[in-house]
């Protein structure tokens, strides 16, 4: 079913990924040095989609200015979800921009084009849902099927039945929009899955099709490491990674594959980069610095003799000379929860600057535009625009 229009849901904020999402929506966070949403668009185009409708909301200007009117010659139409009132509300916001059968995908989850194609090819019902076999569906949607027809679809299943994972990829007929409208909102939000449950209850066919392939999602800050690393060796990123032709790598520097070294990066003498490192555009790794298992976003400077392990940065970060991010595990506070022994050395949000010889205790989260004086030890969660003195 090539030639289908896709609705991409990209209006959400990503609260559990603060402080990185203070200045941009979750779909614009990096995965292997490209925004998650760019990977989503790439896979849609590869699957034969010929028009994309993007539902934007939180920090929508970041998406629209980055992509503009098209992606790989496929036109992009933007519609705004003024308030984030659920996936069903987002789909309804795009209804007027599509005609007939359409595909719906989440803009913050990367799914291989094979899964998209399989779902389109299997579609012969009021709605079709892409399903994956996973050992656990905790935290995601679960689906039960009987002879290919969906019988139950729920968010975060409360029981131990053998659910299939809802991959968040749907093919919808116009009747599905009516069902979403008819479904009762929950806590003021309309959910797409409630619309599908409405279809099932009134006897319309909802098909579930099981597929295989890459499917990754970042829920918490440390997940951004796993998401990027899982892309290596797939159709999205070569197994050995890539070094852009415009990057400058000194002859005495060491690149340990797999890595992604983006456009205009500089790796100075004696530096060691990799394995499993993604350097965003215009990033500099100083002399004799070591960077391992990290996702470093654009315009970042890592000072000479610094050590950066299992670190996630925002844009425009400055890690000073001799500073140390020793790597996880560490205890990470997200909102009112503490997650123990997570693999995260530190997360430094946009435009964090340290003055050198700073030590980051594993699990540290530093808010944007924070200034850290030389010789400081940093731990816990620092709010935006904090000034830390030694």
* CATH T-level assignment (fold) for domain 5-217: Spore Coat Polysaccharide Biosynthesis Protein SpsA; Chain A (3.90.550)
- Annotated domain spans of the chain: 5-217, 234-388
Residues 6+ apart with CB under 8 A from 218: 17, 26, 29, 31, 36, 108, 224, 226, 227
Q: Is pLDDT at 2 greater than 60 in this prediction?
A: no
Closest CA to 335 of 220, 199, 222, 230: 220
Q: What's the half-sphere exposure (Cβ side, CA atoms, 13 Å) at 270? A: 9
Share of the chain above pLDDT 90, in %: 91
Q: Does domain 234-388 have CATH number 3.30.300.130?
A: no
Tell me the pLDDT tens digit for each residue of 305-352: 999 999 999 999 999 999 999 999 999 999 889 999 999 999 999 999
Q: What is the pTM of this model?
A: 0.95
Q: Are 376 and 370 in contact (CB under 8 A)?
A: no
Tell me the pLDDT tens digit for each residue of 258-316: 999 999 999 999 999 999 999 999 999 999 999 999 999 999 999 999 999 999 999 99
Closest CA to 181 of 200, 207, 156, 199: 199
Q: Is pLDDT at 1 greater than 70 in this prediction?
A: no
The radius of gyration of the chain's CA atoms, rounded to the nearest angstrom, is 22
Question: Which phi and psi angles does 244 have, rounded to 5°?
Answer: -65, 145
248: tokens are 């400058």
Tell me the pLDDT tens digit for each residue of 124-179: 999 999 999 998 898 899 999 999 999 999 988 988 899 999 999 999 999 999 99
Closest CA to 358 of 325, 310, 384, 381: 325
């Amino acid at each position: 079913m090539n030639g289908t229009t896709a609705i991409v849901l990209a209006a959400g904020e990503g609260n559990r990924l603060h402080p990185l999402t203070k200045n941009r929506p979750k779909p614009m966070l990096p995965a292997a040095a490209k925004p998650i949403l760019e990977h989503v668009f790439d896979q849609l185009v590869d699957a034969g989609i010929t028009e994309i409708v993007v539902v934007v909301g939180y920090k929508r200007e970041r998406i629209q200015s980055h992509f503009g009117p098209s992606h790989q010659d496929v036109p992009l139409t933007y519609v705004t979800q003024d308030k984030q009132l659920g996936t069903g509300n987002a789909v309804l916001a795009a209804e007027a921009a599509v005609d007939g059968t359409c595909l719906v995908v989440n803009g913050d989850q990367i799914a291989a084009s094979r899964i998209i194609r399989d779902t389109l090819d299997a579609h012969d019902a009021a709605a079709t849902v892409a399903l994956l076999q996973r050992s656990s569906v905790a935290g995601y949607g679960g689906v039960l099927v009987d002879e290919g027809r969906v019988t139950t679809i729920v968010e975060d299943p409360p029981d131990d039945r053998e659910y299939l994972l809802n991959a968040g990829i749907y093919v919808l007929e116009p009747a599905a929009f009516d069902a979403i409208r008819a479904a009762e909102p929950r806590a003021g939000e309309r959910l797409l899955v409630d619309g599908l449950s409405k279809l099932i209850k009134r006897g319309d066919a909802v098909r579930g099709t099981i597929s295989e392939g890459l499917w990754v999602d970042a829920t918490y800050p440390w997940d951004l490491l796993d998401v990027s690393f899982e892309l290596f060796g797939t159709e999205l990123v070569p197994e050995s990674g890539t070094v852009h032709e415009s990057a400058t790598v000194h002859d005495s520097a060491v690149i340990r594959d797999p890595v992604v070294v983006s456009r205009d990066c500089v790796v100075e003498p004696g530096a060691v980069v990799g394995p499993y490192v993604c350097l965003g555009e215009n990033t500099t790794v100083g002399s004799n610095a070591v960077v391992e298992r990290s996702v470093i976003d654009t315009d970042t400077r890592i000072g000479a003799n610094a050590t950066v392990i299992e670190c996630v940065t925002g844009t425009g970060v400055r890690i000073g000379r001799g500073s140390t991010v020793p790597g996880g595990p560490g205890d990470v506070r997200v909102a009112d929860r503490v997650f123990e022994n997570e693999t995260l050395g530190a997360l430094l949000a946009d435009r964090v600057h340290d003055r050198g010889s700073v030590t980051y205790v594993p699990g540290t989260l530093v808010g944007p535009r924070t200034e850290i004086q030389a010789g400081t030890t940093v731990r816990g969660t620092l709010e935006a625009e904090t000034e830390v003195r030694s």
